[in-house]
Amino acid sequence: MKAISIPSVRGLLTGGRRVRYAAVSKSASVPALLALLFIAGTAFSVVFLGPFDWPPAIASFLGGEGDDVTRGEWVRDPSLRPYYTNSTCAFIEDYQNCMKHGRPSLEFLRWRWRPAHGDDLPRFDAARFLTLLRGKSVLFVGDSLASSHVRSLVCTLAQVAPAPARMESLLGGFQRWTFPAHDVSVSFFWTPFQVRWRLTRGPDDAVGPDRQGEVFAGPTDLHLDEADARWITAVPNHDVVVISASHWFARPAVYYRAGRAVGCHQACDGDNNNLTAMKPWQAQREAFRTVLRTLAGTEGFKGAMILRTVAPTHYENGGWFDGGECTATEPATDPDEDPVEMAEPEAEFYKAQVEEFRAAEAESPRRMRLMDVTGMMLRRPDGHPDRYGHGPGQHEGFNIDCLHWCLPGPIDVWNELLMKILTDS
Ligand SMILES: *[C@@H]1O[C@H](CO)[C@@H](O)[C@H](O)[C@H]1NC(C)=O
Ligand SMILES: *[C@@H]1O[C@H](CO)[C@@H](O)[C@H](O)[C@H]1NC(C)=O
């Protein structure tokens, strides 16, 4: 793995401001950045998992419907302890390591998600998860927020795994953690769009087919009708695939269909001046449509496919590059007093994801689940690193980060949701 420093991030990305997380601003939100890139390390070896035989709990999920546990509220629970800490997990990336960087209070770790209906979400049982997924492989595909989810899961599992988990960087951009005692593996592929993409401008040494995503320069060519073969082709080797992607769609881009440039967003000048201006969420909608259809039609993949929805940002009083911050110390618990709404691109991204998911689900006999984290995360303005994503003078991406999440932190609940999805009958 190689972390890339970001040349002049500020000029390269669009970003907006929002006044409060509760306010809807027309141009708010923030492209994701600070991604870490996962470049080839060791030899790539495909994990072949043999014939599928799902444990009964998962088998029933594959055909069943569950309660919607994603509506609810955060309730304080002083007895709650994080699943892992900066001292017990070595896989927390530095920019999420709020404990290490001295976040003054850890009270933000003492909130539990309580669904509006039905039982509380059970605490994540790492031993049970490893047993349930014995012999199986989970693949996460997405941007740095997907990476955070992977780290959260791996940190939690590592607490009970008898042999220490190891991280490998595999040829082709995959990262993999293995839990040998249970024959479970968790993999990650970094791609911020899910479909084929390529940076078109940027430092010379960072542009080109083999150098995708190595800087945060734009604009990007996005092939809306072509799933990114770099990860799609690996899907049959996995049993659970979790996809996600949002924030990067807000960046400047030229959109392609059938290999022809057809639209643009904030990159409509020069040669592109006769392309149709498209909204980023239209592009995101098409990209998800492509990826969901491609996954549904992928031969040899008999596993479960999960779409994780947008995790909102919480910049107040500015954007990520001009002093925006997120200083809340508690979740937003009273929706009546403080209506929680998302900024425009995020709300539109969310809508596009849910609608495309429902359409794909209706059409496909395949097991698909929506992991709808948007509402619950919207209520966690206190869960971001803010100023504690780096030590003094160390930052090379965000100075104040209200996009990523502290680990441990509220996104650890995503594992509880994952477990619920995999075990629901
Ligand atoms: C973990 O965080 C604590 C403060 O919460 C700090 O004192 C300690 O040095 C950190 N340990 C590591 C390994 O980063
Ligand atoms: C777009 O403009 C170029 C010249 O800049 C022209 O060659 C091309 O035909 C135009 N395309 C359309 C669809 O108008």
Q: Which atom of ligand 1 is nearest to the CA of 87?
A: 13
Sole residue written with tokens 């049970």: 128
Quick one: how far is CA 253 from the chain centroid?
20
Higher pLDDT, 325 or 211: 325
| Res 172: pLDDT | 85
Note whether 188 and 140 are within 8 A (CB): yes
Mean pLDDT in residue range 105-113: 96
E strands of 121-165, at which residues? 137-142
**Burial class of residue 272 in the structure, from the number of CB atoms within 10 Å of its CB (0-12 exposed, 13-18 middle, 19+ buried):** middle
Q: Which of 14-23, 173-182, 196-205, 279-288 has the lowest mean pLDDT?
A: 14-23
DSSP states of 81-113 as a string? Answer: --S--TTT-S---GGG-TTTTT-S--GGG-EEE
Q: Is the pLDDT of residue 111 over 90?
A: yes
User: In a mutational test of the pocket of ligand 1, which residue from 100, 101, 388 has the highest number of ligand atoms less than 8 Å from its CB?
Assistant: 100
| Res 344: pLDDT | 78
| Res 88: pLDDT | 95
Q: Counting ligands in written order, which one lies closest to the CA of residue 105?
A: 1
Q: Which atom of ligand 1 is nearest to the CA of 103?
A: 5
Decide: 211 in ligand 1 pocket, CB within 6 A: no
Q: Is the pLDDT of residue 27 over 80?
A: no
Query: Quick check: helix, strand or coil at residue 261?
Result: strand
Radius of gyration of the CA atoms of the chain, in A: 20
Residue with CA at minimum distance from ligand 1 atom 3: 100
8-state DSSP, 64: -
Q: Which of 92-106, 116-130, 208-222, 335-349 has the lowest mean pLDDT?
A: 208-222
What backbone phi and psi angles, to 5 degrees, belong to 7?
A: -75, 125
Note whether 146 and 36 are within 8 A (CB): no
Q: State both tokens at 328.
A: 């809340």
* Whole-number Cα distances in Å, 180 to 161, 168, 296: 9, 13, 30
Residue with CA at minimum distance from ligand 1 atom 8: 100
CB hemisphere CA count around 320 (13 angstroms): 28
Cα–Cα distance for residue pair 408/127, rounded to 1 Å: 19
| Res 80: pLDDT | 96
When the pLDDT of each residue in the chain is averaged and rounded to a whole number, the result is 80
Mean pLDDT in residue range 368-377: 93
Q: State both tokens at 33.
A: 């950045």
What backbone phi and psi angles, to 5 degrees, belong to 326?
A: -140, 90
Q: Is the pLDDT of residue 266 over 50?
A: yes
| Res 36: pLDDT | 27
With bands split at pLDDT 50, 70 and 90, how would you rate the model's confidence at 173? confident
What backbone phi and psi angles, to 5 degrees, belong to 220?
A: -120, 140
Q: Is the pLDDT of residue 107 over 60?
A: yes
With bands split at pLDDT 50, 70 and 90, how would you rate the model's confidence at 218? low
Decide: 105 in ligand 1 pocket, CB within 6 A: no
- The residue type found at 29 is S
Higher pLDDT, 425 or 330: 330
Decide: 79 in ligand 1 pocket, CB within 6 A: no
Residue 87 Cα to ligand 1 midpoint, Å, equals 6
| Res 320: pLDDT | 72
Neighbours of 283 (CB within 10 A): 22
Decide: 99 in ligand 1 pocket, CB within 6 A: yes
Decide: 94 in ligand 1 pocket, CB within 6 A: no
With bands split at pLDDT 50, 70 and 90, how would you rate the model's confidence at 334? low
Mean pLDDT in residue range 105-109: 96
Cα–Cα distance for residue pair 311/298, rounded to 1 Å: 27
Residue 98 Cα to ligand 1 midpoint, Å, equals 9
Q: Which atom of ligand 1 is nearest to the CA of 100?
A: 2
Residue with CA at minimum distance from ligand 1 atom 10: 100
Residue 387 Cα to ligand 1 midpoint, Å, equals 16
Neighbours of 37 (CB within 10 A): 16
Residue 267 Cα to ligand 1 midpoint, Å, equals 44
Note whether 378 and 312 are within 8 A (CB): yes
Cα–Cα distance for residue pair 285/292, rounded to 1 Å: 10
